[in-house]
Amino acid sequence: MSNTIIRPVEILSAGVKADSAKQNVSSAKNSVREVVNRLEVQIKGRNNIAGRLDSLLASLVNIETQITRIKSSVDSCATNYQKTDARVETRSRDFLTAAK
């Protein structure tokens, strides 16, 4: 049987990477918005460029939302694991003390 080591503190600190990824997506989204705002109406109409850019913006918003939800879920699970692990450790200590 193998042991799996889970380090909740490291998992919780990974939120910084998620925030960084979300910031990158947000930056890309803002850049696309700038391009949309600078394009002339005639150019936007060609080959459905406006629709494609709108679709891209919607996808970037979706990615931002997913990153936020994943970070929240991971943080919640790591925190719950940490609390449960502390309870198990306390109970095992109490059990061992009572057995003596």
pLDDT digits (tens, 9 = 90+) for 21-51: 999 999 999 999 999 999 998 888 899 999 9
Q: What is the tens place of the pLDDT at every residue in 1-17?
A: 567 777 878 888 888 99
Residue labelled with tokens 């391009």: 35
The answer to whether 39 and 67 have CB atoms below 8 angstroms apart is: no
pLDDT exceeds cutoff 70 at 75: yes
Tally of domains in the chain:
1
Quick check: is 65 in a domain?
yes
Quick check: is 4 in a domain?
no
Specify the pLDDT at position 93.
87
Quick check: is 64 in a domain?
yes
Quick check: is 7 in a domain?
no
Quick check: is 71 in a domain?
yes
Radius of gyration, CA atoms only, the chain: 24
CA–CA distance, 39 with 63 (Å, rounded to integer): 24
Please tell me the least confidently modeled range out of 12-16, 58-62, 69-73, 82-86.
Answer: 12-16
Picking from 63, 52, 70, the residue whose alpha carbon sits closest to that of residue 27 is 63
CA–CA distance, 44 with 48 (Å, rounded to integer): 7
> pTM to 2 decimals?
0.76
Residue labelled with tokens 């005639």: 42
